[in-house]
Structure 1
C-alpha cells in the first residue's frame, strides 16, 4: 500500500512524495486521513521562522482520520473507549515517553524525549497525507457516533492550545472583559471558550473581515480593526471594556509586535496569556514597570496535553449544532496544493484551511 504526502524538503521547498505505508506497530494504529488542518505554525515551520527542522519532514499536526488497521493489542482508545476499523479518531501529535521528569513528576507537555517529527521516509504521523501512522504512546480518541468530523477539525490544535492556556494561566471568570489579539483559529478558539465560560465582553482585534465575522458568530461582542493606529485601537478597546480595561488579554496573533501592545492593553490586575508566538522567534521591548504598577500576570502555553485534545473534541461535538464550527473551514486544498494552503493561511485569506486527501 502506498500513499501521498506533502514533504518539506528544505525551507520554502515542498514536494509531493509517493510513499510506502507501513502496518501499525504493536500498540499503534494506521488511519486514513479524512482532513488535515493547516495551522499557522506550519507556515512558520515551512518558512524557517520557527528554526531549523530535521528535513525532510511530512507537514501537518492536526488530523481527523478513519482507522485503517489496528496494531496488536489495540482494542480501545486512550480514554478507554472501544475502537474498531472504520472508526473516526483525532490524535494528539506529540508522543510522550511517560518515563521522564516532565511526564511523571511535573505531568506537563512536552516531555524531554518528545519527538515532533519523523523522517519523511519512515512511518509517519504527519497529516498532510493520505495515511497517518500513529505509534504506540501517541494518544488518540474515538469521535462520538454523531460527531461531525469537520466541526472537530475546524479548530484543529488551536482549541486544545487555548484549553492548555487556560489550564496553565487560569480560566475566564464570570463577567470578565476579554480581548483577543487575532482571529485566526487560536483567536477564534479563545472567543469560543471565553463565551462558554461567561465572559461579559469579548473584543477581537484583526483586519480580515471574514475572520472578524466568524468571531462574532462564535460569541465575540465587538471587533476592532487592526487597520486603526495602535493608540486608536487602545481607545476603542477601553471604550468597549470600560475604564478598568480588559481582565484578560489573549495573544493569538502570532506576530511579535502584538506582545508589547498586549501588555499595554491588559488592565490593572489583569492577565496576559501568550499563545500565538510559538513560531515568531525574536524580541520586543516592554516596560517592566508596567508589570508592577498594574500588578500584571503574564503567562504562556504551548504543546497541548492529550487531555486538552480529548476535551476539545468533546466541546466541539457538543457545540456543533449550536455554533457554526464546520463553516469555519473556508478553503480546502489537495495534498499537491499544500503550498497554496500555507499561503492562504499566511495572508489571512482563509479563516481555516485544510488538506483534503479526497481532492485529486
Structure 2
C-alpha cells in the first residue's frame, strides 16, 4: 500500500500530519498529485468550530491544483471535454454532484442534495492539504491551459468561483455600477477584480489591513477606506462623498464578520443589490431594520457552493488576466503540509494575502 502525507483535522483546533493511503482512482475518477492547496478563510472557521461540527477526522483543503497521476477507467477528457492525460495540470470543483436529485436536475443549483463535502481521512479523499487528491466520479475537474500560471489560479482559489456564483445569484455588475466591497481578503479581492473587468464606474473597498487595501487598488479598486479607527457612520459618510446621493448600486459582503451585515444593508443605495458571500462560517445574528429593505427597494441575495461552471470560468478568467493584473503575486506565503497550522494562523491574523500548501516543501 502506498501512503502520502495529509494535514488532518482530528478535532476542533487540532490539526495533525498523517500518513494516509493513496488509492487508485475509481472508474470515472482521477488521482492527482497536489501541486498547490489553497488555504481559505473557511478553513479557519472549520478548524475553530465557528462553522459548526465536522465529521472528524477530515483532510483539510477545498482549493486544489494537481498533476494527473492516474486516470480512472473511461476517462480521457476533463469535464469540459478537453483531452487529458497523466502529467496534465488540473483544477477541481470540490463537490461531487450526484446528477440525480432535485437540486441537480430540476433547480440546476448547488449544493447537491446528496453531496459529500468531507470524507473520513483514512478513506479515498479529495482534501488538498495533502500529497495526493482522489477525485471521485462526478467531481468536475478542468485542465489548465498550457500557458496558465498555477499561482495565478491558486491565488483566488475558491474566491473567484464564489464571486462569479454571487454575481449570478444577485445579478452581474455592469457599466456604470458603483460597487462597495466589504473586506479585502481573497473573496473581496476577487469581487474587486470582477467588478473592474465588468466596467464598474467606481469600486470602493473596506478593510482593516493597509496591505490588503493596497492590493485591492492594484486589482481595480478606485478608492479604499480603512476600518481602523473609523465608525460605521463615518464610513457611510465617506462612501456618500465618493459615490454621491444615489449611493452604491452593488454592495458585496466579503468580510466574514457578522457586524458587516447591517453595515452593508446601510451602505446599499436605493434600488441597489446586497450580495452576501463571506458569512458562511460566521454563525449568529445581527439586527437590521427590515423597513430599509422596503423603502430602498433593495435586493439581498446570498450565495454559496459555486457550481462546476464557475470553476471553469474562474480558471479561464484568471488565465486571461494573469499578465494584466498581479494575480500570481497574491500568493504571499508557501508552506509544507506539516506547517498547515502556521498557514491557518496567517489567515486568521489577517497577515497573509493568500497562503498555499506546497507539498514539495
Would the TM-score normalized by the shorter structure come out above 0.5? yes
Alpha-carbon separation, structure 1, partners of 2:43 and 2:240: 34
C-alpha displacement of 1:240: 1.0
Residues 1:349 and 2:351 aligned together: yes
| Structure 1 residue 243: Cα displacement | 1.4
| Equivalence for 1:46 | 47
Match of 1:331 among 325, 330, 333: 333
| Matching residue of 2:283 | 281
Correspondences of 1:257-272 after superposition (within 5 Å) = 257-272=259-274
Q: Is 2:191 the counterpart of 1:187?
A: no
| Structure 2 counterparts to residues 27-106 of structure 1, below 5 A | 27-106=28-107
Inter-partner Cα distance in structure 2 for 1:181 and 1:347: 17
Aligned residues: 359
Question: Displacement, 1:231?
Answer: 1.0
Distance 1:209 1:84 in 2: 44
Q: Which residue of 2 aligns with 1:129?
A: 130
Secondary structure, counterpart of 2:148 in structure 1: coil
Distance in 2 (CA, whole Å) between partners of 1:27 and 1:132 is: 15
The secondary structure found in structure 2 opposite 1:94 is strand
Shift of 1:347: 1.2
1:163 maps to which residue?
164
Name which of structure 1's ranges 212-221 and 234-243 shifts more when overlaid on structure 2. Answer: 234-243
Match of 2:306, SS state, is coil
Q: 1:356, 1:241 → 2: CA distance? A: 42
Mapping of 1:217-256 within 5 angstroms?
217-227=218-228, 228-256=230-258
**Alignment gaps of 5+ in structure 2:** none
Q: Normalization by structure 1: what TM-score?
A: 0.99
How much has 1:247 moved relative to structure 2? 0.4
Hey, what does 1:177 align to over in structure 2?
Answer: 178
In 2, Cα distance between equivalents of 1:102 and 1:150: 33
SS in 1 for 2:269: coil
Distance in 2 (CA, whole Å) between partners of 1:193 and 1:242 is 23
The aligned counterpart of 2:25 is: 24
Partner of 2:198: 197
Cα offset for 1:207? 1.2
1: CA distance between counterparts of 2:227 and 2:102? 42
**Distance in 1 (alpha carbons) for counterparts of 2:66 and 2:244:** 45
Q: How far off is 1:251 after superposition?
A: 0.0
**Counterpart-to-counterpart distance in 2, 1:319 and 1:168:** 23
Return the alpha-carbon distance in structure 2 between the equivalents of residues 105 and 112 of structure 1.
Answer: 12
| Per-residue deviation, 1:242 | 1.3
Q: Following the alignment from structure 2 to structure 1, what is the Cα–Cα distance between the partners of residues 215 and 310? A: 23
User: What is the alpha-carbon distance in structure 2 between the residues aligned to residue 180 and residue 350 of structure 1?
Assistant: 19
Give unmatched runs, 5+ long, in structure 1: none
Q: How far did residue 229 of structure 1 move? A: 1.4
Q: Which position in structure 1 is the counterpart of 2:111?
A: 110
In the alignment, the residues of structure 2 paired with residue 2 and residue 121 of structure 1 have an alpha-carbon distance, to the nearest angstrom, of 10
Cα distance in 1 for residues equivalent to 2:333 and 2:235: 30
Provide Cα deviations, 1:146-197, integer angstroms capped at 9, x if missing partner.
Answer: 1101101100000000000011110002111000000000000000000011
For each residue in 1:203-235, what CA deviation from the matched residue of structure 2 results, as whole angstroms up to 9, or x when unmatched? 000011111111001000000001111111111
